[in-house]
Chains A and B, each alone.
Chain A
Amino acid sequence: MSTVQTDSVENAIELKEVEGLSQGRIVLRRFLRHRGAMASIIVLAAIVLLVTTSIGWGPVPGWWQHGFRDLSPVANAGGAPTMGFGDGGFSFGAHPFGQDNIGRDVFAMVMRGTQQSLTVMVVIGFFATLIGVVLGALSGYFRGRSDNIIMRFTDMVITIPVIMIGAILGILVGGASAWSLAIALSLVTWTTMARLVRAQFLALRELEFVDAARVAGASSFRIMFKHILPNAIGVIIVNATLLMASAILLETALSFLGFGIRQPEVSLGTLINEYQAAFSTRPWLFWWPGVFIVTIALCVNFIGDGLRDAFDPRQRRIPTARALAKADAKKAAKALKANA
């Protein structure tokens, strides 16, 4: 089939990199090359592993000897961390992150707090994305009246400060659990996602493959979810990760203000709130939850960054000097072979 052979010469060089790969594989490959994102994934995975196995999750017991509500005798003076270089090298001791004034183990509390914060993050990420995508898709696809109604509603939600709605909702349901708080917060954090998805749909619905699907006999539902949505997935995933990063900070802020998760349950925000007064006397009570918040938010942001780069088709890596030298050597060897 000679026609096919000659046809494929055109834009052959640009295709070298993506030969035989689906769009998903290309994105994955680019993502795996992003060092910051890969490091963040590893760190985040380590945190999740530590947090889930140490004090256990729900009915599943963990390997750490103290529960987060257990009171035990204060080991060091003032409850200072036992972790450090003692005689004969590094040791964790009984309370590596220290204890508070009544002898609760800070490590166990931080683990529990991180569990709660992560739960809130994931649940908000999921529900806010779901609401945002569905409303944005309907609005962008159907345009006209439904677009007007949905977008005015979105504007309304945006104009009210999230922290205020969060506070009210938090007071109404917050005491119950991390789950109910997260679902309540999802109800106010979907707006950015809805706007972005709407913009994507508005642009994509004008492309010819959408018309082609319509002529082929596809229903609106099929066009929206089979044809347009997969093409908007890049924006959705990237925004979902960034949403999750801001969700963890929002939860912390609300809990810090006392509107979020409340005693006897702990979250990273309540820990900081509770011990803010102890900052000068027992800094470990303040530092450890802070370190976890910052690390998680940073990791999620980096992952979002990596995803954004991976989904951007114009993104070209600038080759390193070493790769260039290697390619030159390869070329020289080839020339030598051809001459010989």
Chain B
Amino acid sequence: MSTDAKSPILEVRDLGVEFFVDGEWFPAAQDVSYDVRPGEVLAIVGESGSGKTQTSMSLLGLLPTNGRASGSARLAGRELLGLSHKQLSKVRGKDVAVIFQEPMTALNPVYTIGFQIVETLRVHFDISPKAARAKAIELLRMVDLPDPEKSVDKYPHQLSGGQRQRAMIAQALACEPKLLIADEPTTALDVTVQAEILKLMRDLRHRVDAGIILITHDMGVVADLSDRVMVMKSGRVVEAGTADEVFNRPQHAYTRQLLAAVPHLGSMSTPATVAEAGSVVEPVETTPAGELALEANGLVIEYPARGRVPAFRAIKGLDLHIGKGEVVGLVGESGSGKTTVGRAAVGLLPVADGSLKVNGVEMAGIKPKALRAVRQDVSIVFQDPGSSLNPRLPIGESIGEPLKLHRVAEGADLNKRVEALLDHVQLPRAMRNRYPHELSGGQRQRVGIARALALEPRLLIADEPTSALDVSVQARVLELFQELQREYGFACLFISHDLAVVEILSRRIAVMSKGDLVEVGPREQILHHPREDYTRRLLAAVPVPDPAEQKLRREERDRLLATV
């Protein structure tokens, strides 16, 4: 067994992936070589478009129709490339299993999770339905799904995001694969859920003794889980080594750049800052003095009843104050209602009860005409740069729309203003005639920011503006955001699930959970001396891009959860 464990389960040599576009082959990846040994986690890291997913999917023959792979990939001595579909389908699921990014779309919504696991089992093994079901329950128990006897008959929509991901892992492990490919397994999940899934995967790798390929762009996840790391850029491997080597002694400039771009929780503030200010942390002003850009008192927001679905109270009496020119970070898990607050502030959702004042104007029961005036001074940057720009409008027109609609500028003046805005967000002026689909995610988000700043608002709502972006792109967009904030001096409600991002931007942080404000306070206090358990759990779940530190944090988290 000991000598067996040393020999690689997967040997990839000179793997290349090409795509046929418009009469030419374009390489998506070239000369990729690596080994995976049983019980080992190899992390493939890179930005989107670096070819990390395509190289792994080519092993299973899951490339799009216009793609092809070259080179060699041997699974336990057997060549995978060039196998027919029939041969491959025997390999898929049995010898090689995949955990996909989005558990909601990767599980079939019309079948129970039990059915889907049983199906996988019965395709590959000669096994009775009853035995398969017993095995499925056993698998669900292995992935710590609560109450496996009942969960086995549940449909995907009856499970939470984390539970769905667990069910998918159970399905992937059903046939005891030799190789497990995890394609961004935690990207779609909340930090706290992510921490749990990572813990599960760490436990499982020792139990099932499979080789794991972890594809991700999150250095924190890499630090948490991987033994060896391979960094890819533009289809080529730029660096490979053990996790320790790559994190502590990166050789390639790109690796260093990638590591530097990751927001590191605790990098902007030290516990000392609070200590210096006085040992008494108590006098925390939750209300900034002077003029307020946003003032919420007992704010209640409801999604109205529709048909038989009763009204849902998304925000239950929230008090939040943002001073003029102040940046406040709002963090919480998905479903905590943080986006709802942001949308209410720009008048996209009505106030059900309580009071919400934006730049001094009451938003509760506001008339459409007054709302129009309010919107001259408040603006929003949306989360998804892909859907927040009209695909049929050139971006120059999107940026100029607020100016045109509020009759601020027209004709040549409008052109000049749009160009100035493009300059401000560091996009070339020539881009104004391009369409959104021609732009990268980072560029689109810059356009979104330019549009939001067109009317020079006094309050800006930023609704997770960087969560859909790559780390390195995120770093640049955040930098730009800070610059613009200094220049324009707008007040900002920065909504994010990423504590490390919020830490960089805001002096004050508010933590939300289930429609309620859990804790508000200065950055240092929230990050280093949180008063609420919820905040503590949230903080402990954030992975840090440093294997040694992450190990400490992990143990600390386990202790914290044990005490609760």
Contacts and interface: CB of A to CB of B under 8 A. Distances in A.
A152 interface: no
Interface residues of A, number: 45
A15 interface: yes
B18 to A, nearest CB: 8
B20 A18 contact: no
A211 to B, nearest CB: 6
Contact of B382 (A211, A230, A328): A211
B473 to A, nearest CB: 6
B428 A1 contact: yes
A4 B473 CA distance: 10
B257 to A, nearest CB: 10
Contacts of A60: none
Nearest to B400: A216
Nearest to A214: B348
Given A214-B348, A217-B375, A217-B405, A18 B49 contact: no
Interface in A7-53: 7-20, 22-23
Tier of interface size on chain B: 35 or more
B380 A212 contact: yes
Nearest to A229: B392
Interface in A211-259: 211-218, 222, 227, 230-231
B388 A217 contact: no
B49 A4 contact: no
Contacts, number: 137
A215 B438 contact: no
Contact of B21 (A9, A13, A212): A13
Contact of B383 (A18, A208, A331): A208
B270 interface: no
A318 B473 CA distance: 33
Interface string B384-402: 1001111111100010011
Q: Which of A4, A16, A326 has the most CB of B within 10 A?
A: A4
Interface string A320-340: 000110111011000000000
B155 interface: no
Contacts of B392: 23, 230-231
B122 interface: no
B562 to A, nearest CB: 41
Contacts of B473: 7, 10
Contacts of B428: 1, 4
Nearest to A15: B438
B268 to A, nearest CB: 22
B49 A11 contact: yes
Contacts of A209: 387-391, 398
A211 B388 CA distance: 8
B459 to A, nearest CB: 12
A280 interface: no
B25 A4 contact: no
A27 B398 CA distance: 21
B443 interface: yes
Contact of B48 (A6, A11, A319): A11
B387 A319 contact: no
Contact of B402 (A6, A217, A230, A319): A217
A19 B438 contact: yes
A145 interface: no
A23 B391 contact: yes
A23 B434 CA distance: 10
B23 interface: yes
Given A23-B391, A213-B401, A217-B406, A10 B440 contact: yes
A327 B442 contact: no
Contacts of B388: 207-209, 211-212
Contacts of A20: 434, 438
B333 interface: no
A182 B23 CA distance: 46
Contact of A18 (B346, B375, B426, B437): B437
B441 interface: yes
A3 interface: yes
Contacts of A9: 47, 49, 234, 440
Interface string B508-546: 000000000000000000000000000000000000000
A315 to B, nearest CB: 11
Contacts of A19: 438
B413 interface: no
Interface of B: 19-26, 28, 47-49, 64-66, 234, 343, 346-348, 372, 375-376, 378-380, 382-384, 387-394, 398, 401-402, 405-406, 426-428, 434-435, 437-443, 448, 451, 454, 470, 472-473, 476
6 contacts: A8-B440, A9-B234, A13-B26, A23-B437, A216-B402, A231-B390
Given A7-B476, A327-B24, 13 more contacts: A7-B442, A10-B48, A10-B442, A17-B21, A17-B22, A209-B387, A209-B391, A215-B378, A216-B405, A217-B376, A230-B392, A316-B66, A330-B24
A-B complex: 3 closest residue pairs judged by Cβ atoms: A208-B388, A216-B402, A230-B392
